[in-house]
């Protein structure tokens, strides 16, 4: 019964996370449409900081607190909640203070002094994190996932609503574009407060704490929150951390490339068009593979690594296959996708290069989650920080010579380094076993079939000058037919095992189809 409750809760949390991430990526398209590339640039300069706070509040700290809460029969308000709240405030308050007092220096470093107030407001988001993280962690520790799921979706809905309303006022109400910077902070603060209200409602209703007494294990609390809260949360910040490097290095490097400050900001906004597409592609590409990670985690805790080889191979294989199809499809259709979503073809070449990051980031998310399930959090953190350094250095070296194409190459190279490092670590744990066991000829034939279908559609219809609505219909039809062709050929050539097919949408039908072949 307890296991069923845990599985149902984990599923609810996964669905809420998927909805939240799609919302988080999807609203940026109307944001860019309403405010243009300069408006999008302003928002994206602030967003990585807010995103890091959200990742700590949603994933990092709650995971650590849930681990501590699960070990307690009863949760003490005085001896559990207050000490952990104090530790969280110490960490988040330090982040908030450093960001607030250095807002002017940060804005100067990135080359846009008008963002000082935006960074100061963004620093305030960290002060709400301790409350939301504490309550989420306690509920999750008791396998009660509803509060976290509802608060996560509620927070995202409020944040998206505020941002889009401000974008509408910028577009139609004559508001200054730079109001988008502070609006990002206000939207996140509003969303966090709304999430906190939902969590407090569940806390009052369910009363998970009591007035038991025991010695406060400060060392255990502190170590768990730092290791599992800060280090483990890096897995959820991979794309954010790379965007953080872009926020600091791109505009100065683009000015060095020869653009004026305004042109550099607009070019950065054009480059940022790729972020929501990478995020959606990576999330969808990794979600089904990640369904195997809980099994890996359970076995990893007792050091039975070799027994997990089938699950690890399956997780990486599914993520690779789905993300590779999405990545290649996006590259082929990108000129039209760019026009459909962002109203023009600016930056098509650099953004097409950037779409390689879809498959790389899906693999990175899956591989790093597997390694964390095998208690390798420190290694994952070191690899991610190394990838951030590589991205930063390549931006400084490539962007002054190649513009935003240089930054696209830097993103791909940093993610490539990261997946290679993660795979080598996994192979070492698995004793050198092959990580992705797949019928590669079948995979290549399936990809080729999809490419031919998309190429024929481009040849027959792609040359016509389509309206935006026409582009929408065209892309929906071509992507659907391409995806069906790809999936059908994968099944036809026995690329998937039945256990892997069961994780995909309409898995039972695919299995029946597979068995008839």
- Which phi and psi (to 5°) does residue 415 adopt? -70, -35
Closest by alpha carbon to 127, among 164, 96, 83, 166? 96
Say how many C-beta atoms besides its own lie within 10 A of residue 497's C-beta.
16
Beta strand spans in 144-272 (E): 209-210
Residue 300: its pLDDT value, please?
46
- What is the Cα–Cα distance from 33 to 516, expressed in whole angstroms? 47
Q: Distance between CA 240 and CA 220 in Å, rounded?
A: 29
Reduce the DSSP state of residue 69 to 3 states and report it. helix
Q: CA quadruple 428, 432, 436, 441: dihedral positive or negative?
A: positive
End-to-end CA distance of the chain: 39
Using CA atoms, how far apart are residues 64 and 138, in angstroms rounded to an integer?
10
Burial track 431-452 (b if 16+ CB lie within 10 A, e otherwise): eeeebbebeeebbebbbebbbe
CA angle 58, 64, 69 (to 5 degrees): 110
DSSP character at residue 112: -
Give, in order, the Cα–Cα distances in Å from 328 to each of 354, 376, 441.
Answer: 11, 31, 17
Cβ neighbourhood burial of 317 (10 Å; 0-12, 13-18, 19+): buried
Give the span between the Cα atoms of 351 and 342, in whole angstroms.
12
DSSP, residue by residue, 363-407: HHHHHHHHHHHTT-HHHHHHHHHHHHHHHHHHHHHHHHHHTHHHH
Q: What is the 3-state secondary structure (H, E, C) of 424-483?
A: HHHHHHCCCCCCCCCCHHHHHHHHHHHHHHHHHHHHHCCCCCCCHHHHHHHHHHHHHHHH
Pick the closest to residue 364 from 431, 303, 429, 278 (CA basis): 278
Reduced to 3 states (helix: H, G, I; strand: E, B; else coil), residue 143 is: coil
Q: SS3 for 302? A: coil
Residue pair 22/158 in contact by the 8 Å Cβ criterion: no
**Spatial distance between the Cα atoms of 171 and 273, rounded to a whole number of angstroms:** 18
Look up residue 289 and give its two tokens: 């593979």
As separate numbers, helices (DSSP H) first and strands (DSSP E) second, the chain gives 23, 2
Cα distances (Å, whole numbers) of residue 4 to 1, 8, 9, 170? 5, 6, 8, 49
Which pLDDT value is given to residue 76? Answer: 75
* Cα–Cα distance measured from residue 33 to residue 74, given in angstroms and rounded to the nearest whole number: 51
Residue with tokens 């040359």: 463
Token pair listed for 145 = 């996932």
- At residue 9, the pLDDT reads 57
pLDDT tens, N- to C-terminus, the chain (517 residues): 444 555 555 566 667 767 777 777 778 889 989 998 999 999 999 999 998 898 888 888 888 888 888 777 677 777 788 889 999 999 999 999 999 999 999 999 888 889 999 999 999 999 999 999 999 888 888 777 788 888 988 999 999 999 999 999 999 988 999 999 999 999 999 999 999 999 999 888 877 666 666 677 788 888 888 877 877 778 778 888 999 899 999 999 999 998 999 999 999 999 998 888 888 777 776 665 555 555 555 544 444 555 566 677 777 888 888 888 888 988 988 888 888 888 888 888 999 999 999 889 888 888 887 887 777 878 888 999 999 999 999 999 999 999 999 999 999 999 999 999 998 888 887 766 677 777 888 889 999 999 999 898 888 876 677 788 888 888 888 988 988 898 888 888 877 766 666 666 555 565 565 555 5
For residue 356, give the nearest of 326, 383, 333, 381 by alpha carbon.
326
Nearest alpha-carbon partner for 410 in 360, 365, 366, 371? 360
**Please, what sign has the CA dihedral across residues 319, 301, 219, 57?**
positive
**φ and ψ at residue 75, rounded to 5 degrees:** -90, 125
Instruction: Take residue 410 and report the two structure tokens written for it.
Output: 């830097």
Confidence at residue 505, expressed as pLDDT on a 0 to 100 scale: 58
List phi, psi (to 5°) of 210: -145, 180
Place of tokens 């792609």: 462
Pairwise CA distance, residues 212 & 208, whole Å: 12
């Amino acid at each position: 019964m307890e296991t069923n409750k845990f599985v149902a809760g984990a599923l609810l949390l996964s669905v809420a996370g998927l909805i939240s991430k799609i919302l988080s990526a999807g609203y940026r398209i109307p944001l860019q449409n309403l405010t243009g590339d300069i408006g999008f640039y302003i928002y994206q300069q602030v967003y990585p900081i807010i995103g890091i706070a959200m990742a700590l509040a949603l994933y990092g700290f709650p995971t650590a607190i849930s681990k501590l809460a699960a070990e307690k029969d009863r949760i003490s308000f005085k001896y559990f909640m207050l000490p952990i709240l104090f530790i969280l405030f110490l960490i988040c308050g330090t982040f908030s203070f450093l960001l607030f007092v250095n807002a002017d220096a940060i804005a100067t470093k990135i080359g846009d002094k008008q963002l000082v107030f935006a960074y100061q407001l963004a620093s305030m988001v960290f002060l709400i994190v301790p409350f939301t993280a504490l309550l989420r962690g306690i509920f999750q520790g008791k396998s009660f996932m509803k509060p976290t799921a509802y608060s996560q979706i509620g927070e995202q809905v409020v944040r998206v609503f505020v941002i889009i309303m401000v974008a509408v006022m910028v577009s139609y109400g004559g508001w200054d574009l730079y109001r988008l910077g502070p609006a990002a902070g206000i939207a996140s603060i509003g969303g966090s407060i709304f999430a906190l209200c939902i969590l407090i409602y569940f806390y009052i209703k369910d009363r998970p704490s009591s007035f038991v007494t025991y010695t406060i294990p400060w060392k255990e609390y502190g170590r768990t929150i730092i290791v599992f809260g800060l280090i483990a949360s890096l897995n959820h910040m991979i794309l954010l951390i790379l965007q953080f490097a872009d926020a600091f290095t791109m505009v100065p490097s683009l000015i060095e490339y020869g653009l004026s400050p305004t042109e550099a900001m607009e070019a950065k906004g054009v480059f940022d068009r790729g972020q929501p597409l990478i995020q959606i592609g990576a999330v969808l590409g990794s979600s089904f593979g990640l369904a195997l990670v809980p099994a890996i985690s359970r076995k990893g805790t007792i050091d039975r690594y070799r027994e997990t080889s089938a699950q690890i191979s399956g997780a990486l294989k599914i993520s690779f296959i789905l993300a590779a199809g999405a990545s290649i499809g996006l590259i082929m259709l990108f000129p039209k996708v760019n026009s459909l979503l962002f109203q023009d073809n600016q930056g098509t070449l650099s953004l097409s290069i950037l779409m390689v990051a879809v498959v790389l980031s899906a693999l990175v998310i899956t591989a790093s989650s597997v390694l964390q399930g095998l208690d390798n959090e420190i290694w994952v953190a070191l690899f991610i920080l190394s990838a951030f350094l590589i991205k930063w250095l390549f931006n400084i070296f490539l962007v002054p010579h190649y513009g935003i194409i240089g930054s696209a190459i830097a993103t791909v190279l940093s993610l490539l380094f990261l997946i290679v490092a993660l795979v080598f670590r996994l192979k070492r744990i698995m004793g050198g076993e092959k990580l992705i066991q797949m019928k590669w000829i079948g995979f290549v034939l399936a990809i080729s079939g999809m490419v031919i279908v998309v190429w024929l559609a481009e040849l027959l219809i792609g040359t016509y000058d389509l309206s935006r609505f026409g582009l929408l219909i065209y892309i929906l039809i071509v992507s659907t037919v391409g995806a069906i062709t790809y999936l059908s050929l994968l099944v036809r050539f026995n690329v998937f095992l039945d256990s892997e097919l069961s994780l995909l949408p309409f898995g039972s039908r695919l299995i029946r189809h597979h068995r008839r072949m």
